[in-house]
Structure 1
Amino acid sequence: MIWANAVEGAPGVMGISLLQGGAAGLVMLIVVLVLRGALVPRSTVRDVRADRDARLADRDARIKELTAERDTWRAAYETSEAGRHLSQSQTGELLELSRTAAHLLASLPRPDREVTAGATVDSEAVASPP
């Protein structure tokens, strides 16, 4: 066997046993993993997970706040739009009434003489048709 030959130091076989090389290799592997950051203590993992969970909870709370704010702004916009449509329809009606009044005033006969504030008005006089 190789193990026995290595331990006894048989010719042609390396002088290090597999057990010693395996242990040294395992220690080197662990050291490399620790130095590269692939192997970390459990407490560090717990701290990282707790921090991540806290950030996720904060993010979820912020999303809820923003959703509520968005809904408030949407409701305000819809109310504003309803008011704007009502205002536009009332303005349209008022413009139509003003046009009607302008046509009515334009169609009235014009007096032949000018009436002043102190003048007497003849109630029997009838204006001539245009």
Structure 2
Amino acid sequence: MGMLIGQLGAGGLLSLGVWLILTGRLVPRSTLLDAWRQRDTWQEAHRQSEEARHGDRDQIRQLLEVARVTEHVMTSLPQPGEVDRGTRVDEAAPR
């Protein structure tokens, strides 16, 4: 590559520099630093989003467990018409 650059001369180097800039291979340091900061910001936002999503998933899991217990309790209660008024219900008796 060194021999090629030496043979290009000033016009060739200028053309090479313009071509590198236009194709995005040569960028100012401030642009590169801005891109890195933006990447880091998005990574932090993603990390926070994932933590919140895991918290939501744990809360939903707990709510589903409460719903299962509630459903079990509600289905085990006697239905209207199954028990006569004034009669005592024997909870130990099989159904």
Equivalent residue, structure 1, for 2:14 = 27
% identical aligned pairs: 31
* Matched letter for residue 46 of structure 1: L
What pairs up with 1:87-126 in 2 under 5 angstroms? 87-91=74-78, 95=82, 97=83
In the alignment, which of 58, 62, 85 is matched to residue 71 of structure 1? 58
TM-score (norm 2): 0.70
Q: Number of residues paired by the alignment?
A: 80
Q: Against the structure 1 CA distance between its residues 19 and 73, is the aligned structure 2 distance closer, same or farther, given a 3 Å change threshold?
A: closer
Equivalent residue, structure 2, for 1:54 = 41
* Matched letter for residue 49 of structure 1: W
Question: Partner of 2:78: helix, strand, or coil?
Answer: helix
* Matched letter for residue 52 of structure 1: R
Equivalent residue, structure 1, for 2:92 = none
The answer to which structure, 1 or 2, has the higher relative contact order (CA under 8 A, 6+ apart) is: 1
TM-score (norm 1): 0.53
Deviation at 1:21, TM superposition (A): 3.4
Q: CA RMSD in A?
A: 2.4
* Matched letter for residue 54 of structure 2: T
Q: Does 1:86 align with 2:73?
A: yes
Q: Which structure has the larger Rg over C-alpha atoms?
A: 1
Spell out structure 1 runs of 4+ moving beyond 2 A. 18-24
Gaps in structure 2 of 5+ consecutive residues: 88-95
